[in-house]
Copies of this chain bind each other. A is one copy, B any other.
Amino acid sequence: MPVNLTEVARHAGVSLATASRVLNGSARSPAPDITERVKAAAEELGYVANAQAQALARSTTGLVGLVVHDIADPYFSAIAHGVQEVALQARHQVLLAGTDLGGEDGTPRSAELAAVTAFISYRTDAIILATSRFLEEDPVLAKNLERYIQNGGKVVTIGDTSIPGAKVLTVGNFDGARDLVDALVTSGLSRFVILSGPHERNTARSRVEGFTSALERRGLEPLVVVGGEFSSRGGFDATLECIDTLGIIAGAKSAESPLCILAANDVMALGAITALRSRGLQVPDDVQVAGFDDIPTLRDYSPGLSTYQLPLEEMGRLAAGLALAPESVLESRVTGAVVLRESAGTPTLAPDGA
């Protein structure tokens, strides 16, 4: 129904080939007067090239697929923002899929497979996986991706997951978690609990390993480790479970150093603080809390959340950069920095502080 190149060509009194050369970047460029005529015709008819047809003819689509877990989660939306930025510069469009909504059987796992399959079907030039599940556990997904790569597609995973032939944006989850705990211990904390998040997500796993590793080195170990979703609700529930297990109640002054909750990400940490509040516990006076990511949301949050700061947008940019870069570039790496705020580990606010 829309105007096509043939009509434009006829309207301009030139051949299809010429019209194509004028309108859609080619090595050869027709004479000035012809160029002018064709452009005028296109403008007049309101011609907009059919990207599908171009994709078919050029065998490249200008599409990049991004699969996240939950676009409404600040972690993922920040990354998505970064991806968009680079995609825009590279004149690519981004196809977005979320896995939290579930696929055929309602699981994120099936959703991820469905998303990847769809992207492959649309022949996206690259696929960025920000979901960070263990791909080894999903042979079907892995096989599809491998074939996709063999056929010239590019795959970038964010996090430590690796699949053969895929590029990877390595994130210092383990080291960051370790650094964070080191800083907290140094500030005088010694009693920790861990909200470990979902076990199947390797970012969560790496962070938890970092936490425990750092504790071990100091001869400490977490009082409790509880799982839960990577969400505010997950953090909330896990925290209630935690403080009930430990029998923590408001007003009970103890001689020990305050308890510190290590959450596998900021969103959980915020849920944790809400949970503490609901029980009348003060942060950081009664219980301290630390997160991971430094999501943009924290800018307006009080008390300031101690966390490990990751350059989320930059991660999106880097991932997209890898996705659109030549074959040869295979890896990028990001690290972050410990940021101590009021919620945990800042000596000035610790009970026994100045």
Determine how close the nearest CB of chain B comes to the CB of A37; give it in whole angstroms.
21
Residue A96, interface by CB 8 Å: yes
The answer to whether A122 and B52 have CB atoms under 8 Å apart is yes
CA of A277 to CA of B302, assembled, Å: 9
Copies per complex of this chain = 2
- Other-chain residue from B1, B49, B61, B96 in contact with A96 (beta carbon distance below 8 A): B96
CA of A242 to CA of B34, assembled, Å: 59
- Provide the A133-156 mask, 1 if CB < 8 A to any CB of B, else 0: 000000000011001001110000
Residue of A59, A122, A143, A299 most packed against chain B (CB within 10 A)? A122
The answer to whether B74 and A74 have CB atoms under 8 Å apart is yes
* A120 / chain B contacts, CB cutoff of 8 Å: 2, 48
Residue A300, interface by CB 8 Å: yes
- Other-chain residue from B85, B123, B232, B270 in contact with A50 (beta carbon distance below 8 A): B123
Determine how close the nearest CB of chain B comes to the CB of A104; give it in whole angstroms.
11
The answer to whether A121 and B302 have CB atoms under 8 Å apart is no
- Provide the A30-52 mask, 1 if CB < 8 A to any CB of B, else 0: 00000000000000001011111
Residue A310, interface by CB 8 Å: no
Pick the interface stretch among A87-95, A176-184, A221-229.
A87-95
- Other-chain residue from B55, B118, B301 in contact with A301 (beta carbon distance below 8 A): B301
* A50 / chain B contacts, CB cutoff of 8 Å: 56, 121, 123
* A273 / chain B contacts, CB cutoff of 8 Å: 300
CA of A12 to CA of B213, assembled, Å: 55
CA of A118 to CA of B50, assembled, Å: 10
- Which residue of the partner chain B has the closest CB to A70? B81
Residue A271, interface by CB 8 Å: yes
- Which residue of the partner chain B has the closest CB to A80? B71
- Provide the A191-235 mask, 1 if CB < 8 A to any CB of B, else 0: 000000000000000000000000000000000000000001000
- Other-chain residue from B56, B95, B296 in contact with A94 (beta carbon distance below 8 A): B95
CA of A71 to CA of B87, assembled, Å: 14
- Provide the A116-132 mask, 1 if CB < 8 A to any CB of B, else 0: 01101111000000000
Residue A323, interface by CB 8 Å: no
* A232 / chain B contacts, CB cutoff of 8 Å: 299-300
- Other-chain residue from B48, B53, B88 in contact with A101 (beta carbon distance below 8 A): B88
Residue of A59, A70, A98 most packed against chain B (CB within 10 A)? A98
- What are 18 A-B contacts defined by CB distance under 8 Å? A1-B59, A1-B150, A46-B144, A46-B147, A48-B117, A50-B56, A50-B123, A51-B122, A52-B52, A71-B71, A72-B80, A72-B296, A74-B74, A81-B98, A84-B98, A94-B97, A297-B297, A302-B302
